[in-house]
């Protein structure tokens, strides 16, 4: 049988809670599961509040609106990330300025930030890439020195820890995605986490078409319909109930991959900083063609022929058509980003993946060494 890259685990109370939401008739953006999810997720992220939204991209858009980012502003983002991070910056009329990543974390390099800061720079989006936290103390220190705000993009890093602290609590505001391939999922869905009551009020108004919560159908600002449904939150409540089991199984899969692939010539593992407890999202490796005997793309094609789905690393954002022209004008290079993007791939990772399937994937890779 084909082994997919990702598959949701809906083996708990998902169906029961969804039926409960349907029978209650509360299937839109209010209901007990919305309230329950926001309270539980805020507690898990060790913040005052969580705001459920339609997906991770709109969470980023709202976060940027909350930070008053707009035309003429620049926002520093890593180039090695999903395109939504930079797209959201463009949504508010600002311009993303790309930063290289640190080879020790694959996340934004704090040492590269200062050189990118100009008088137009307003903030930083720190992405916790492939589940590994960015070095938030160092990033926040640069931000404080230049009076910048920091948004965490934690779309891939549910409940990861940085120096013992949970991601989602390390910037002014954090954003999450609950897309179908994420550790916890509602198919589509997202959230923002934060501590500031005034910012929360503004974000909730923006999320709900700009309506004043104290005066129905009075809209003091232009807002958006970015709400998440009670049905989707029913999924998330069921997922969070089983969070430890889901995380433990995924961590077991990570360990098994490492054990089975250890010592394979040319195969490198995602680094883990001593202060990090990454979220086990997708097990990711790099391929050194000279030692392995084929390129990353050739390995992916060979695994596909063996019924194993994989995924390449993100294409560097500064090379994509919407962003390439202004970046070329800067005449700068991002060598670590480009090297990782050309050599990295993610292997099948989901809690229903069996030990035998992990062994099958690893054996296929070992069998392709030349």
pLDDT of residue 128: 98
| Residue 295, φ and ψ in degrees, nearest 5 | -75, 170
Contact between residue 161 and residue 169 where contact means Cβ atoms under 8 Å apart: no
Q: Specify if 26 maps to a domain.
A: yes
Q: What is the mean pLDDT of the chain?
A: 97
pLDDT score for 332 = 84
Domain that holds residue 287: 243-366
Percent pLDDT > 90 in the chain is 97
Q: What is the pTM of this model?
A: 0.97
Q: Which of 241, 256, 276 is the last residue of a domain?
A: 241
Mean pLDDT for the stretch of residues 4-31: 97
* pLDDT value of residue 327: 87
* Residues 121, 227 share a domain: yes
Predicted confidence at residue 258, as pLDDT, reads 98
- Nearest to residue 343, comparing CAs of 280, 282, 270? 270
Q: Residue 9: inside a domain, yes or no? A: no
Please check whether residue 5 is in contact with residue 181, taking contact to mean a CB–CB distance below 8 angstroms: yes
- pLDDT tens digits for range 261-289: 999 999 999 999 999 999 999 999 999 99
**Same-domain status, 81 and 222:** yes
Instruction: Identify the domain boundary among 189, 208, 241.
Output: 241
Q: Tell me how far apart the alpha carbons of residues 18 and 12 are, in angstroms, rounded to a whole number.
A: 11
Domain assignment present for 6: no
Mean pLDDT of 304-329: 95
Quick: pLDDT tens for 208-218. 999 999 999 99
- Regarding whether 123 and 92 lie in a shared domain, the answer is yes
Total tally of structural domains belonging to the chain: 2
Residue 242 confidence class, pLDDT cut points 50, 70, 90: very high
362 vs 259, 290, 304, 311, 356, CA distance in Å? Answer: 9, 20, 13, 15, 10
**pLDDT value of residue 329:** 84
* Residue 57 placed within a domain: yes
Q: Tell the burial category of 123 from Cβ atoms under 10 Å away from its Cβ (0-12, 13-18, 19+).
A: buried
One domain, residues 70 and 148: yes
* Structure tokens that stand for 141 in this block: 């220190």
Reported as a single tens digit per residue, the pLDDT across 109-150 is 999 999 999 999 999 999 999 999 999 999 999 999 999 999
**Residue 194: what pLDDT?**
98
- At residue 330 the predicted structure's pLDDT band, cuts being 50, 70 and 90, is confident
pLDDT at 294 over 90: yes
């Amino acid at each position: 049988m084909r082994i997919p890259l990702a598959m949701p685990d809906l083996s708990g109370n998902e169906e029961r809670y969804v039926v409960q939401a349907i029978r209650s008739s509360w299937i839109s953006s209010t209901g007990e599961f919305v309230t329950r999810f926001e309270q539980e997720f805020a507690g898990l992220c060790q913040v005052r509040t969580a705001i459920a939204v339609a997906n991770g991209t709109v969470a980023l858009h709202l976060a940027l609106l909350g930070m008053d980012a707009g035309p003429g502003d620049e926002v520093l983002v890593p180039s090695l990330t999903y395109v939504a991070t930079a797209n959201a910056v463009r949504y508010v009329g600002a311009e993303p300025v790309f930063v290289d990543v640190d080879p020790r974390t694959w996340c934004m390099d704090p040492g590269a930030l200062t050189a990118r800061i100009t008088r137009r720079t307003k903030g930083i989006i720190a992405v916790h890439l492939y589940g590994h936290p960015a070095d938030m103390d160092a990033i926040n220190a640069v931000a404080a020195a230049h009076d910048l705000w920091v948004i965490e993009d934690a779309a891939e890093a549910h409940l990861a820890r940085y120096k013992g602290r949970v991601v989602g609590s390390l910037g002014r505001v954090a954003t999450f995605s609950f897309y179908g391939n994420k550790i916890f999922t509602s198919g589509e869905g997202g959230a923002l986490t934060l501590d500031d009551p005034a910012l929360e009020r503004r974000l909730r108004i923006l999320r709900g078409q700009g309506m004043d919560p104290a005066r129905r159908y009075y809209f003091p600002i232009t807002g958006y319909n970015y709400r998440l449904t009670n049905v989707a939150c029913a999924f998330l409540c069921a997922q969070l109930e089983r969070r430890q089991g889901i995380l433990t199984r995924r961590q077991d899969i990570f360990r098994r991959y490492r054990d089975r692939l250890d010592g394979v010539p040319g195969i490198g593992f995602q680094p883990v900083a001593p202060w990090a407890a990454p979220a086990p999202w997708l097990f990711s490796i790099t391929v050194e063609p000279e030692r392995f005997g084929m390129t990353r793309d050739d390995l992916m094609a060979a695994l596909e022929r063996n019924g194993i789905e994989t995924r390449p690393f993100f294409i560097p954002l500064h090379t994509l058509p919407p962003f390439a022209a202004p970046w070329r004008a800067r005449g700068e290079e991002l060598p670590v980003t480009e090297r990782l993007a050309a050599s990295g791939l993610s292997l099948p990772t989901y809690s229903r993946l069996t030990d035998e399937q992990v062994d099958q994937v690893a054996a296929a890779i070992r069998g392709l060494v030349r």
